[in-house]
C-alpha cells in the first residue's frame, strides 16, 4: 500500500525579502504606528503576489487619528521607498473641494460648459500613470482630510472604490485598478485628548494609567459611522486608527527630523550639524504636544535651528567644513550655536581629541567659539 506524501507546515506570516525591506523602511520613517505599517505591508505583499482583485483598486485605506501622528507621512514614506521621491503621488486636498462644482477640477467639465477644454482634469490617465515605473507599476492617490470634502466627492469615490474606473467630463474612461488609494481624516480625534494627564510625561508624579487603545479606536470608528455613509465605508478595505504619540515616540521623531535638517545643511554646505542632549531636551519641551502631534516639532526645528543656521552661513560665521553645535543658552531662554573650525572638525572626526564647541587649551578656535569663551553668546540675527 502506497504511503501518502507528508504535508509540510507553512508560515503565512513570513514576508518576502521585498516586503521585509518595505516594512523596515516604513518603520524607520513613521514612528509609533506599527499596526498601520503591518497593514500596508500585507497589502503590498498581496499585490506583489498577483492576488489583488483585478477589477478594483489594489487597496483603499482610511487613515484615522489625531493630527500630526503620521497619516500623510505614511503615504510620503511609501512614495519615497517605491520611487525615491516623497512627492511621487497624486494628492487631493479635500478642503479645496467643499463645493460640488469644484469636482470639475478633478474630472473636467462636460462638453458645452465654458472653458471645458482649457483645464485638463487632475485625475486623467496621464497624471495617474506619471510616477509609475517598470519595477513599481502603481499609483499612490491621496485624499487628504476627506471629511472636509463635499458629498459629491464622496459619491465620486464610490465608483472608484467599487469598480476601479472613473468617467471624466469628456466621457473618457480612466483606469484606477493600479492605484493604492489613501484617505486621511481627523474624525473622532477628540477621543484621544483624555488619554494624557500631562503634555509629555516629563512631569514628575504618579504615572498616568495606560490608555485603552482598543476602546479609543472603537470610539473613533464609531465617529466615522456618524459622518460617512455605510455605502462609502463598506467599500474601504482597511480602516486604520493611528496611535497618539507619547514621549518615547517624540524622542525618536526628533532624531529623525534632526537627521533631515542635517541632510539639508550638508547638501547646501559641507557642515556637520550636531545638537547636545540639552538642546534636544529643550526642543522636546518647547515643540511637542500629544494633541497636535509632531507638526509643532517640525516647525520649531525649522524656525529655531534651520533658519538660524541659514543666517550663520549667510553672514559668513560658518564656512565649508565647519562643525556646528546646537546648545541651550545659559538662561535656558533659547538656543545658542557654537562652531569649530574646519581643520579642528576634521581632526575630531579622525579621533584627534577635539570636540565640537571647544577644543583643547591653545587650539585655534572659530570666532564664534572665541566669543563664547569670552562670556558672550553669539546668536544669529533675528534670534530671541
Q: What is the pLDDT of residue 90?
A: 97
Cα gap 79→238, rounded to integer Å? 19
Cα gap 214→163, rounded to integer Å? 32
**pLDDT score of 232 more than 70:** yes
**pLDDT score of 296 more than 50:** yes
String of DSSP letters for 302-336: IIIIIHHHHHHHHTTSS-TT-EEEEEE-TTSSSEE
**pLDDT score of 63 more than 70:** yes
Phi, psi of 334 (to 5 degrees): 170, -170
Chain position carrying cell 540675527: 381
CATH fold of 248-373, please?
Helicase, Ruva Protein; domain 3 (1.10.8)
132-156 tens-digit pLDDT? 999 999 999 999 999 999 999 999 9
**pLDDT averaged over every residue in the chain:** 83
Q: Which residues contact 77 (CB under 8 A, 6 or more apart)?
A: 25, 26, 29, 30, 86
310-364 tens-digit pLDDT? 999 999 998 888 999 999 998 888 999 999 876 555 555 555 433 333 333 333 3
Q: What is the pLDDT of residue 202?
A: 42
Which one has a higher pLDDT value, 362 or 248?
Answer: 248
Cα gap 93→110, rounded to integer Å? 22
103-134 tens-digit pLDDT? 989 998 776 566 656 678 999 999 999 999 99
Other CB atoms within 10 Å distance of the CB of residue 111: 10
* CB burial of residue 115 (10 Å; 0-12, 13-18, 19+): exposed
Which one has a higher pLDDT value, 117 or 232?
Answer: 232
Q: Any idea what DSSP says for residue 183?
A: E
Strands 179-185 and 139-144: parallel
Q: Any idea what DSSP says for residue 289?
A: B
Strands 179-185 and 173-175: unpaired
**pLDDT score of 234 more than 50:** yes
Q: What is the pLDDT of residue 200?
A: 45
How far does Cα 97 stand from its chain's mean position? Answer: 23
Q: What is the pLDDT of residue 267?
A: 87
Cα gap 350→115, rounded to integer Å? 65
3-class DSSP assignment, residue 30: coil
Mean local confidence (pLDDT), 274-296: 91
3-class DSSP assignment, residue 259: helix
The grid cell for 75 is 503615504
Which one has a higher pLDDT value, 157 or 351?
Answer: 157
Spell out the domain ranges in the chain. Answer: 17-244, 248-373
CATH fold of 17-244, please?
Rossmann fold (3.40.50)
Amino acid at each position: 500500500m502506497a504511503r501518502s506524501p507528508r504535508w509540510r507546515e507553512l508560515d503565512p506570516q513570513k514576508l518576502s525579502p521585498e516586503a521585509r525591506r518595505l516594512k523596515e523602511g516604513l518603520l524607520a520613517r513613521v514612528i509609533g504606528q506599527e499596526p498601520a505599517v503591518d497593514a500596508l505591508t500585507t497589502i503590498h505583499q498581496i499585490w506583489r503576489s498577483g492576488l489583488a482583485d483585478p477589477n478594483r483598486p489594489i487597496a483603499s485605506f482610511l487613515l484615522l487619528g489625531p493630527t500630526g501622528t503620521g497619516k500623510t507621512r505614511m503615504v510620503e514614506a511609501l512614495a519615497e521607498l517605491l520611487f525615491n521621491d516623497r512627492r511621487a503621488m497624486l494628492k487631493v486636498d479635500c478642503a479645496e473641494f467643499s463645493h460640488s462644482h469644484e469636482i470639475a477640477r478633478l474630472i473636467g467639465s462636460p462638453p458645452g460648459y465654458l472653458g471645458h477644454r482649457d483645464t485638463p482634469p487632475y485625475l486623467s490617465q496621464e497624471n495617474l500613470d506619471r510616477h509609475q515605473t517598470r519595477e513599481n507599476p502603481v499609483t499612490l492617490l491621496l485624499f487628504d482630510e476627506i471629511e472636509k470634502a463635499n458629498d459629491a466627492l464622496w459619491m465620486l469615490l464610490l465608483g472608484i472604490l467599487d469598480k476601479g474606473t472613473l468617467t471624466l467630463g469628456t466621457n473618457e474612461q480612466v483606469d484606477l485598478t493600479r492605484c493604492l488609494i489613501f484617505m486621511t481624516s481627523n474624525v473622532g480625534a477628540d477621543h484621544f485628548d483624555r488619554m494624557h494627564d500631562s503634555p509629555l510625561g516629563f512631569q514628575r508624579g504618579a504615572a498616568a494609567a495606560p490608555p485603552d487603545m482598543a476602546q479609543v479606536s472603537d470610539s473613533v470608528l464609531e465617529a466615522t459611522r456618524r459622518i460617512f455613509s455605510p455605502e462609502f465605508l463598506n467599500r474601504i478595505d482597511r480602516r486604520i486608527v493611528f496611535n497618539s504619540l507619547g514621549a518615547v515616540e517624540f524622542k525618536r521623531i526628533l532624531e529623525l527630523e534632526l537627521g533631515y535638517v542635517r541632510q539639508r545643511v550638508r547638501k547646501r554646505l559641507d557642515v556637520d550639524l550636531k545638537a547636545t542632549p540639552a538642546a534636544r531636551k529643550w526642543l522636546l519641551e518647547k515643540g511637542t504636544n500629544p494633541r497636535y502631534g509632531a507638526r509643532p516639532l517640525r516647525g520649531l526645528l525649522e524656525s529655531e535651528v534651520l533658519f538660524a543656521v541659514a543666517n550663520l552661513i549667510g553672514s559668513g560665521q560658518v564656512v565649508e567644513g565647519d562643525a556646528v553645535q546646537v546648545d541651550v543658552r545659559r538662561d535656558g531662554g533659547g538656543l545658542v550655536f557654537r562652531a569649530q573650525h574646519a581643520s579642528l572638525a576634521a581632526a575630531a572626526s579622525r579621533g584627534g581629541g577635539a570636540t565640537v564647541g571647544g577644543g583643547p587649551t591653545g587650539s585655534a578656535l572659530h570666532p564664534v567659539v572665541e566669543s563664547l569663551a569670552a562670556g558672550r553668546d553669539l546668536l544669529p540675527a533675528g534670534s530671541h
